[in-house]
A = this chain, B = another copy of it.
Amino acid sequence: MKKIIAIVGDAKIEKDGPKYQLAYETGKALVEAGFRIQSGGLRGVMEAAFKGAHDAENYSEGSTIAIIPSFDPNDANEYADIAIPTGLDVFRNVIVSNACAVVAIGGGAGTLSEIANAWALKRMIIAFNNVDGWSAKVAGTRMDNRVRYPDIPDDKIYSVSNAQEVVKLLKERLHKYNTFHTSIPKDS
Binding site for B on A (CB under 8 A): 1-2, 4, 11-12, 36, 42-44, 60-62, 65, 67, 69-76, 80-91, 94-95, 98, 100, 108-110, 112-113, 116-117, 119-121, 133-134, 143-146, 180-184, 186-188
Please measure, in the bound complex, the distance between the C-alpha atom of A100 and the C-alpha atom of B60, giving whole angstroms: 23
CB pair B121 A71 closer than 8 Å: yes
A interface majority secondary structure: loop
Please measure, in the bound complex, the distance between the C-alpha atom of A86 and the C-alpha atom of B11, giving whole angstroms: 22
Copies of chain A in the complex: 4
Query: Inside 8 A of A44's CB, which chain B residues have their CB?
Result: 188
* A113 in complex: contacting residue of B60, B82, B120, CB < 8 Å: B120
A20 smallest CB distance to B (angstroms): 15
CB pair B72 A180 closer than 8 Å: yes
CB pair A94 B84 closer than 8 Å: no
Query: Inside 8 A of A36's CB, which chain B residues have their CB?
Result: 82
State whether A109 and B116 are in contact (beta carbons under 8 Å apart), knowing that A60-B60, A183-B69 are contacts in the complex: yes
* A108 in complex: contacting residue of B69, B82, B90, B146, CB < 8 Å: B146
CB pair B116 A181 closer than 8 Å: no
Residue among A69, A71, A76 with the most chain B CB within 10 A? A71
- 10 pairs from A and B in contact (CB 8 Å cutoff): A12-B188, A42-B186, A62-B82, A71-B98, A71-B121, A73-B180, A90-B184, A109-B146, A112-B143, A183-B183
